[in-house]
């Protein structure tokens, strides 16, 4: 039962929602509907608590607050957010919601209930075989995305629900935390980005980093705090002259100081392999102006641009014009990077109030402005949503293929190209001329035979770049070809080609068998059954051998890495001595997922209780996530591993919480990058410290020198992260060495 303090807490939390809702509701009738939804949900969840111990109703209230305050949705969405768990967690039905709140709110609640059911399904299908279970979870994600077909508000409310869940993720057990964080990174963060919900995307990224890479997160937070203390006053001095000029021009405006997020800094450090000190654009200054009548927003943005560049020197190659050409998620702004008088680069973002609303609230704000007629440019997201709907409506599309390609399109940046008539089109970076043809219309793609890019004849496989003018040449006799699948990037285009080729599937299966047989004969392999099973696992062909043969036949699998596939699980060089114990027979549930799985060694037998994932090569001391394989073994990945994120998103029921035992005698493979000023004897000093002083074995050493600078990497075997950190500190002290850092093994 609830205490008096619980009831006071509920009332206090709802009061904030009450104030926000009154502002967003069109009239008193809508406001009364929100109050009715709260009373209904409050009664339905009465006496129920969350894992944190708080009354459960606080979760729907928090989701509704995000919906109204951070996304900007209205009455029906607020009601649906308050009611979103009622059907799933109580005895009430969608019919009850429909009777009390109408068809639209009931439809939103029904869509949200289906999403929650789909996400929870992997915990209810533990007895499925591995491939079937993977396909099932992929199909569950596909069902989530079908809600884009119904009402995009369902996805927006679900993003609010996911945001609140990760905000309170500390109360969940670790195995469930890993599943939720992986789903969040794999699907919900890219989806928030594509829908223009930048602040939600950024917050979820930071929470992901905080729990996946806690040491890196803490270090970056501390460094940002130091930078703020050191440079805060300098930024104020930088802003002061800009204020004076804007005041003279009569602008009403707001200037905000923004620090880069910990996740964006960590991402830049890891992808570019640079230290924190080399992140130059830590600060951003955002100018949000109230548009003056009689001038376009574009003209006013460029006026402010010229004002700033009259005060400070700017870096031309860092100017980004997203006013003329908004991003595919609707983002509009003018960005420039200028040199402050203090000698540091500062990014300045210029937005109108309308642009800022779209940047903060994404697709919801875009549609609000579009309906009111105040938007100045058409948003490409409408076209993208239509393409997604077309793909989803195809009943034959393979769920795993769709999910992989949809995820890739979500995370791909955009370029702008032009039709022969000068109309601009936004496409994902990397798209080819043929992708553009299918973007225009499926029949244009099906009959395409060549293209002209900037008036020059090119093949259909030609990758497009920003600013290209593209003309597609078609012929009535033109037909889709299998080799197109080798270079097409668009999932929609691939789907169109696959549909056309489906009638020829029997021939492609036969072709695939012939191609594979020839490759195996060249290697002297006669035993096929074990090889086929290994290749099915390696290439993730969940449809079995027919799918494997078909994909080989149509060119989706080119067998260029066949030798690597054949060696899979046969040789693991991540560990110097190895052997993996079989932990449990298939499906007997011997491993308790609710308890931490101990990662340990048996030195006498030369075995471990786990496999090392070769995609990220974790070593003792790393934050890791473990997955139970079909044969009962456990494979561990770094928590920050992108492969692990994908696995957890489609195979969430396999996740096990894992921790390292205290003592490890075996040596694990790690890589460090190193660079510095070249001198005679530096290589000798490096190898002496590694081998003689620290007693560490090296597997590979690659060093190059140019212009008196040396750089390269060293692969070596260490016992744990403490040993690796000790070695990095020792190498950093060698004369001439400028930087030593652990990096991923490619």
pLDDT (tens digit, 9 = 90+) per residue, 696-745? 888 888 888 887 788 899 998 888 888 888 889 999 999 889 889 998 87
Check residue 593 and give its pLDDT: 61
- Residue 145 · residue 388 · CB < 8 Å: yes
Is the predicted pLDDT of residue 248 greater than 50, yes or no?
Answer: yes
- Can you tell me the distance from the alpha carbon of 283 to that of 434, in angstroms, rounded to the nearest whole number? 40
Check residue 394 and give its pLDDT: 55
Residues 650-664: what's their mean pLDDT? Answer: 76
Is the predicted pLDDT of residue 405 greater than 80, yes or no?
Answer: no
Residues 305-328: what's their mean pLDDT? Answer: 87
- Residue 466 · residue 415 · CB < 8 Å: yes
Question: What residues act catalytically?
Answer: 88-89
Angle between helices 642-650 and 130-150 (to 10 degrees): 80
285 pLDDT tier (thresholds 50, 70, 90): very high
How does the average pLDDT of the chain come out, rounded?
Answer: 81
- Residue 85 · residue 59 · CB < 8 Å: yes
Residues 72-82: what's their mean pLDDT? Answer: 92
**Looking at the chain, which residues constitute the CATH 1.10.3210.10 domain(s)?**
4-171
The Cα angle at residue 73 between residues 71 and 75, in degrees rounded to 5 = 150
Check residue 376 and give its pLDDT: 40
User: What superfamily would CATH give domain 214-372?
Assistant: Beta Polymerase, domain 2 (3.30.460.10)
Check residue 606 and give its pLDDT: 46
- Can you tell me the distance from the alpha carbon of 213 to that of 202, in angstroms, rounded to the nearest whole number? 16
- Can you tell me the distance from the alpha carbon of 254 to that of 356, in angstroms, rounded to the nearest whole number? 11
Check residue 32 and give its pLDDT: 95
- Can you tell me the distance from the alpha carbon of 184 to that of 425, in angstroms, rounded to the nearest whole number? 30
132 pLDDT tier (thresholds 50, 70, 90): very low
Residues 230-239: tens digit of each pLDDT: 777 888 899 9
- Residue 287 · residue 350 · CB < 8 Å: yes
Check residue 588 and give its pLDDT: 43
Question: If you write DSSP's letter for every residue of 56-76 in order, what string do you get?
Answer: TTHHHHHHHHIIIIII---HH
Residues 6 or more apart whose Cβ sits within 8 Å of residue 399: 135, 138, 139, 141, 142
Check residue 573 and give its pLDDT: 44
Q: Which residue has the higher pLDDT, 201 or 282?
A: 201
Check residue 89 and give its pLDDT: 87
- Compute the Cα dihedral for 477, 480, 482, 485 and give only its sign: positive
Q: Mean pLDDT check: name the lowest of 149-153, 209-213, 665-669.
A: 149-153
Read off the tokens for 295.
Answer: 């001038």
Is the predicted pLDDT of residue 305 greater than 90, yes or no?
Answer: yes
Q: Which residue has the higher pLDDT, 652 or 127?
A: 652
Read off the tokens for 67.
Answer: 């919906």
Q: Which residue has the higher pLDDT, 580 or 549?
A: 549
- Can you tell me the distance from the alpha carbon of 185 to that of 649, in angstroms, rounded to the nearest whole number? 9
Evaluate whether the domain defined by 668-743 bears CATH number 3.30.70.260: yes
Answering whether pTM is above 0.95, one says no
- Can you tell me the distance from the alpha carbon of 125 to that of 130, in angstroms, rounded to the nearest whole number? 10
Which helix (DSSP H) or strand (DSSP E) does residue 694 occupy? none
Read off the tokens for 677.
Answer: 């000023």
381 to 321, 384, 512, 528, 742: CA distances (angstroms): 18, 5, 39, 48, 39
Tell me the three-class secondary structure of 567-602, residue by residue. HCCCCCCCECCCCECCCCCCCCCCCCCCCCEEECEE
For the chain, give percent helix, strand, coil, nearest 5: 55, 15, 30
User: What superfamily would CATH give domain 4-171?
Assistant: Hypothetical protein af1432 (1.10.3210.10)
Read off the tokens for 339.
Answer: 């040199």
**Looking at the chain, which residues constitute the CATH 3.10.20.30 domain(s)?**
412-479
Residues 601-647: tens digit of each pLDDT: 664 444 566 888 888 888 888 888 888 877 677 888 888 888 888 77
Place of tokens 């070769």: 614
Residues 135-153: tens digit of each pLDDT: 445 555 666 666 555 677 8
Question: If you write DSSP's letter for every residue of 718-746 in order, what string do you get?
Answer: ESSHHHHHHHHHHHHTSTTEEEEEEE---
Is the predicted pLDDT of residue 189 greater than 60, yes or no?
Answer: yes
Domain 412-479 fold? Ubiquitin-like (UB roll) (3.10.20)
**Looking at the chain, which residues constitute the CATH 3.30.460.10 domain(s)?**
214-372
- Can you tell me the distance from the alpha carbon of 255 to that of 236, in angstroms, rounded to the nearest whole number? 10
């Amino acid at each position: 039962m609830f205490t008096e303090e619980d009831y006071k807490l509920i009332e206090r939390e709802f009061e904030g929602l009450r104030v926000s809702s009154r502002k967003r509701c069109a009239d008193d009738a809508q406001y009364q509907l929100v109050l009715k939804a709260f009373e209904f949900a409050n009664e339905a969840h009465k006496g129920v608590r969350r894992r944190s111990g708080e009354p459960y109703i606080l979760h729907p209230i928090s989701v509704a607050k995000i919906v109204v305050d951070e996304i900007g949705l209205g009455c029906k969405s607020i009601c649906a957010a308050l009611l979103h768990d009622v059907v799933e967690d109580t005895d009430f039905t969608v019919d009850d919601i429909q009777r009390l709140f109408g068809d639209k709110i009931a439809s939103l609640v029904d869509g949200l209930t289906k999403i929650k059911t789909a996400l929870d399904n992997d915990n209810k299908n533990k007895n499925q075989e591995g491939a079937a279970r993977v396909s099932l979870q992929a199909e569950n994600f596909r069902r989530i995305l079908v809600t884009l077909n119904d009402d995009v508000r369902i996805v927006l409310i679900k993003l609010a629900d996911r945001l609140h869940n990760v905000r309170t993720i500390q109360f969940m057990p670790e195995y469930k935390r890993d599943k939720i964080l992986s789903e969040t990174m794999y699907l919900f963060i890219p989806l928030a980005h594509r829908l223009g919900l930048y602040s939600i995307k950024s917050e979820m990224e930071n929470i992901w980093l905080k729990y996946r890479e806690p040491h890196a997160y803490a270090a970056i937070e501390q460094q940002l705090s130091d930078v703020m203390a050191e440079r805060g006053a300098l930024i104020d001095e930088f802003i002061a002259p800009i204020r004076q000029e804007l005041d003279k021009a009569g602008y009403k405006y707001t200037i905000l100081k923004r620090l880069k997020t910990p996740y964006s800094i960590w991402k830049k450090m890891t992808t570019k392999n640079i230290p924190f000190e080399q992140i130059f654009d830590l600060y951003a200054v955002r100018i949000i102006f109230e548009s003056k009548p009689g001038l376009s927003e574009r003209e006013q943005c460029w006026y402010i641009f010229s004002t700033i560049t009259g005060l400070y020197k700017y870096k031309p190659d860092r100017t980004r014009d997203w006013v003329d050409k908004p991003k595919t998620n609707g983002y509009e702004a003018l960005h420039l990077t200028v040199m402050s008088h203090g000698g540091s680069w500062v990014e300045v973002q210029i937005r109108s109030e309308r642009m800022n609303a779209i940047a903060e609230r994404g697709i919801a704000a875009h549609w609000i402005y579009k309906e009111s007629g105040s938007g100045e440019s058409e948003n490409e997201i409408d076209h993208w949503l239509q393409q997604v709907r077309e793909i989803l409506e195809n009943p034959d599309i393979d769920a795993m293929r769709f999910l992989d390609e949809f995820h890739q399109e979500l995370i791909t940046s955009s370029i702008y190209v032009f039709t022969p008539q000068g109309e601009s089109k936004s496409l994902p970076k990397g798209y080819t001329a043929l992708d553009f043809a299918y973007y225009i219309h499926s029949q244009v793609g099906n009959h395409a035979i060549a293209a002209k890019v900037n008036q020059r004849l090119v093949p259909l496989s030609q990758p497009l770049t920003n600013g290209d003018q593209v003309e597609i040449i078609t012929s009535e006799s033109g037909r889709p070809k299998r080799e197109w699948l080798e270079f097409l990037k668009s999932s929609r285009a691939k789907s169109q080609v696959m549909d056309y080729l489906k009638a020829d599937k029997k021939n492609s299966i036969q072709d695939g068998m012939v191609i594979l047989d020839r490759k195996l004969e060249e290697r002297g392999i006669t035993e096929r059954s074990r090889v086929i099973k290994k290749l099915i696992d390696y290439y993730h062909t969940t449809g079995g051998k027919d799918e494997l043969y078909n994909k080989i036949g149509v060119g989706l699998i080119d067998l260029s890495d066949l030798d690597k596939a054949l060696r899979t699980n046969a040789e693991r060089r991540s560990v110097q001595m190895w052997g993996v114990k079989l932990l449990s027979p298939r499906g007997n549930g011997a491993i308790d997922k609710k308890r931490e799985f101990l990662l340990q060694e048996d030195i006498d037998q030369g075995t471990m209780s786990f496999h090392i994932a070769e995609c990220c090569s974790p070593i003792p001391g790393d934050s890791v996530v473990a997955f139970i394989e079909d044969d009962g073994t456990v494979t561990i990945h770094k928590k920050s591993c992108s492969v692990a994120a994908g696995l957890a998103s489609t195979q969430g029921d396999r996740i096990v919480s894992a921790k390292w035992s205290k003592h490890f005698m075996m040596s694990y493979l790690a890589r460090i990058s190193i660079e510095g000023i070249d001198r005679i004897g530096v290589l000798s000093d490096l190898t002496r410290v590694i081998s003689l002083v620290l007693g560490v074995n090296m597997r590979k050493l690659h060093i190059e020198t140019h212009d008196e600078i040396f750089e390269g990497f060293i692969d070596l075997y260490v016992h744990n992260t403490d040993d690796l950190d000790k070695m990095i500190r020792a190498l950093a002290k060698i004369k001439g060495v400028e930087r030593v850092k652990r990096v991923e093994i490619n």
